[in-house]
Structure formats: C-alpha cells, structure tokens
A and B are shown apart, each in its own frame.
Chain A
Amino acid sequence: MTIRNKAYIAGAFEHPTRLAPDKSTPQLHAECAAGALADAGLSLKDVDGYFCAGDAPGFGGMSMIDYMGLKVRHTDSTETGGSSYILHVSHAAQAIAAGHCSVALITLAGRPRSEPFGRFPGGAPEAPFEGWVGSTTHNSYGMCAARHMHEYGTTSEQLAWIKVAASTHAQYNEHAMLRDVVTVDDVLNSPMISDPLHRLDCCVVSDGGGALLVVAPEVAKSLKRPLVAVRGAGEAVKGPRGGMNLDLTTSAAAVSGPAAFAEAGCTPADMKYASIYDSFTITVLIQLEDLGFCKKGEGGRFVAEGNLISGTGKLPFNTDGGGLCNNHPTNRGGITKVIEAVRQLRGEAHPAVQVPNCDLAVATGIGGSLGVRHGAATLVLERQ
C-alpha cells in the first residue's frame, strides 16, 4: 500500500493569538481545531481520527478527545518533539489509506509566554474537577460493575467465573504468580476491595514486560516460524463526554471490536481463541458483550456456563492465566494479550490449554479507566 494520492490536507488554521493569559491550553487546542474545521468546511462530527503530541495536556489523546467531544476510530499521539505534526500528516495518510479514518484532526497549542513554568504544565482539562475524587482503577471499574449489576442483574457469582477460568489455565503456567485453581466461593470470600469487586476480581501487580516484532510479508515468509497475520484492527476512545447519556456498561470496545471483525471479514463466532484484557473480572465481561460474543447484559450467564475454559468452553480465553493470575507488567496487560494469542496461533501454548487447530484469534484491550475515559484496541490475528 502507498499513501500516494490516498490523502489530502483539506483544512489549515493558524491561531492569531500571540499571548493568551486568559485561555487554557486545552481551550487553545479546541480553538485551533474549530479554525481548521471552518477552513475546510467540515464540522466536529466529521472528525474520525485525532493526532496530538506532547503539548496536548492530560492522558495522551484521551483527555483531549473527551474535552472536545470527538468520536474517533483512529488515534495517534506519537511524540517526536517539534516534528510530531509533520509525522502526524504521514501517519494520518497511512491511516486514511488503510481505511481506518477519513477526517484526521491534528492539533498543537501551548502558552509559554503566559505561564513560562506553567502553574500545572500538562494538566489534564478534567484534572481540577476529578483530581480530588479519589478515583482509582478499583473504584472506577467498581462503578461499572455496580451499574452492570443494576441494569442486567449480573451477580458477583457470575463475575467470579471469569477468575475461575483464568486460574484453571494458570495452573499450567510455571511463571504465573497465582497457580492455585480457585472456586467461585474463594472469590466471594476474598476481601472486598471496592464494591462490588473482591480481591480475587482484581488482576495481580507484577514486574515484567514483553515485546513484539511486526514485519513486512516478505520478511515473515523468509523466517522459519509459523505465519501469524494481522487480519483486522479497530480502536476507539470513550469518555463521559460532558456527562450526558452516561453509559458505564458499554466500553469503547463496542466500536473497536466490530471494526476489527469487519476489516478481518469474519465474525466473533469464527474466533477459536480470545485474549481479553482482564484488569478486573468486569473488564472481561463488558468486552465479551461489546465484541459480540454474547448480547449486552448476557455476559454473566455466558461466563457462568464455563465458556471461557479451554477444552470445554465455547471461547477459550487468556490461556496463560491472564492478568488475573499470570502477570500484569507495569500495570498494563496489553502486550501479554497479543503474546498469548500468538502462542495459540503457533500451537505453542501449554498442551493442556492449547486450542486445537487455532487459526483465528482475537486480542482486545482497554486502557485508561473504564469508568471515566478509556481507549480500546482490538486485533484479529490469523495463522496462515
């Protein structure tokens, strides 16, 4: 694929201010965005890709996307200093050529004259309103679980089945932090951390890490390893977006999952294996529904039928034990999700949990805070 003739610059705006003591940095980003949209004759609703670099305040693009009220299916915050925005044009062209967005917004703004040392440089636009509330991952995800229980009658027993499945797999992983197979009662009897999540609803805290190499087809074919192709991908960012029509029971994976399946030309039913980000049991439940493995609200029943257990269930998941039992290096489990999916597709998972003829797998993850603003990414991988 080439980006030649695949993308054009349709709008451009230079902010007229040279001194802005009365405006915040997020506000300047938004004004620049509005200016470029007006120049192009486009509106906020047309934007489906967002690019920013280190000058964007807050938590990567997540804070700015939520501040401006964007709804995007592609985001990139590659930081290469002052060259970032030139690079972003290229990245945007690639994303557009690949069909992952059609209107990419790139913003830059800052106010070093007004605040040379910045009162709170890099401060997220939401920070003054949310910095004091004591939000942790535990209680943020706890709110999602509480609301899911309220709307759909999901129970703690059902959530516990996710941990049971993970521990059933972890017993075979000699590197897993938690190798004991647990029962539903074990989960329910573990201490309450933040209602309704118990200690065993939470992932482990571990050191560690991982790496991946993504290569061109001709390189892959020159190597003596099984061929694992990226067949489809999707991404999205979701936040409270002004607090209107808040929905804590649906994640950004409701966008990233279907997009990945559409690009891959397959359906959830085609998946032989799933790596599902498991910071908490509720994280898995909501992603199962959002990716379409079951209907919204039916995740509890789906997992309580033992469907996640390799060998007996319909959808073997996290056969390394996942974040719930194996590891969660630097509190980010995204790369380990891809690694175990690759093992499954190569036939290199532990024999006790290896899925026979595993030729299609999905790896999906949630970053940030599910109850506030978060990103989702989904990959469909194929052994060829």
Chain B
Amino acid sequence: MSDPRKIPAPQPNVENQRFFDAAAQGKLLIGQCDACGQPHYYPRATCPFCFGATTWVESGGKGEIYSLSTMRRGAGAPYTLAYVTLDEGPAVLTNIATDDHDSLAIGQRVSVRFTPTEGGPPVPMFAPEGE
C-alpha cells in the first residue's frame, strides 16, 4: 500500500468560512431554507430550491452510503470517494475513512469523522459506525 492520501486544504471564501470554523470545532453544518424549509448541502447563502435566505444548522453527522468508488491506482490509493445521504436528507460528496475499503457497501451506516488537511481546516469524511 502506498502512503495515505494527502488531503489538500480547503480554501473557504467569505460566504462559507463559518462552515470551516464550525468544522474545526467538530460540527457539520448544512443549509436550511428559511422559506421552504428544505435542507441542502453544500450550504450556501441562497436556497437552491426556492432562492430563499438560509440558516446553517448542525447536522447529526449520521447517514448511509448512497454510492461509492474506491480508487485503486495512483498516489494515495486506495481511497474511497462516496456520497453519504445524511439522516436530515441531503447527500454529501465525501470520502470514507477506513482501512478496509473492500468491506464498504451501498446502504452502509456511517458517521462523520473530521479529518486533518495539509495546513487548513479539517474536512468532514465519514467512517463506518463502530470504527
């Protein structure tokens, strides 16, 4: 196995700096529309369903794998790219943090695991429950 993948630092802008400030405190924020009430991810200033103003709320950080693909070649492999559908509804494009990529499956329960980056704020990966 090659060295673990280096995670590049996310580069927030003034709109989403607070997401990464919360991440540094172990909190996963999602967008919630003040007008239509629907949640969304990634969070943004306007609701992608109705253009209403949004409030960013803390997610429980639990969900299940919607789909996944484990990269087998190149630097940092293996690592698993996945969408995780949060219990609140939105799907998050993320990585599954595990040493056992072959055991992962669609529908599997996972919970958020904030992971350090190269000189930046931590990012929300997910890990199988119990790991």
Contacts and interface: CB of A to CB of B under 8 A. Distances in A.
B2 interface: no
B89 to A, nearest CB: 6
A244 B81 contact: no
Given A67-B48, A134-B95, A243 B106 contact: no
A27 B89 contact: no
A24 interface: yes
Interface in B38-72: 38-42, 44-51, 66-72
Contacts of B47: 69, 242
A194 interface: yes
A133 B126 CA distance: 12
Among B20, B93, B106, the most chain A Cβ lie within 10 Å of the Cβ of B93
Nearest to B125: A133
Contacts of B89: 243-244
A132 interface: yes
Among B11, B40, B71, the most chain A Cβ lie within 10 Å of the Cβ of B71
A140 interface: yes
Nearest to B10: A128
Interface stretch (A142-150, A299-307, A327-335, A339-347): A142-150
B12 A133 contact: no
A146 B107 CA distance: 12
B100 interface: no
Contacts of A117: none
Interface string B1-31: 0000101111111111001100000000001
Interface string B62-93: 00001111111100100101110100011111
A157 interface: no
Interface stretch (A94-102, A119-127, A288-296): A119-127
A30 B52 CA distance: 11
B127 interface: no
B53 to A, nearest CB: 10
Nearest to B84: A243
A68 B48 contact: yes
A132 B51 contact: no
B112 interface: no
Contacts of A135: 81, 93
A241 B11 CA distance: 21
B106 A146 contact: yes
Contacts of A125: 15, 42, 44
Contacts of A21: 14
A139 B69 contact: yes
Nearest to A144: B67
Contacts of B51: 30, 33-34, 37, 43-44, 68-69
A337 interface: no
Given A242-B38, A246-B85, A128 B20 contact: yes
Contacts of B8: 131-132
A142 B69 contact: yes
B19 A128 contact: yes
Contacts of B50: 43-44, 69
Interface in A4-50: 21-27, 30-31, 33-34, 37, 43-44
13 contacts: A23-B14, A25-B13, A130-B93, A131-B8, A131-B10, A139-B70, A193-B71, A240-B93, A242-B38, A243-B40, A244-B40, A244-B89, A244-B91
Interface of A: 21-27, 30-31, 33-34, 37, 43-44, 66-69, 114, 119-120, 123, 125-136, 138-147, 150, 191-197, 240-244, 246, 248, 371-372
Complex A-B, nearest 7 residue pairs according to Cβ-Cβ distance, in ascending order = A69-B48, A142-B69, A242-B40, A24-B15, A243-B90, A243-B91, A147-B67
Given A27-B15, A132-B7, A132-B8, 20 more contacts: A21-B14, A34-B51, A68-B48, A128-B10, A129-B19, A136-B71, A138-B69, A139-B81, A140-B81, A191-B73, A193-B73, A194-B72, A194-B81, A242-B49, A242-B90, A243-B40, A243-B85, A244-B39, A246-B66, A248-B83
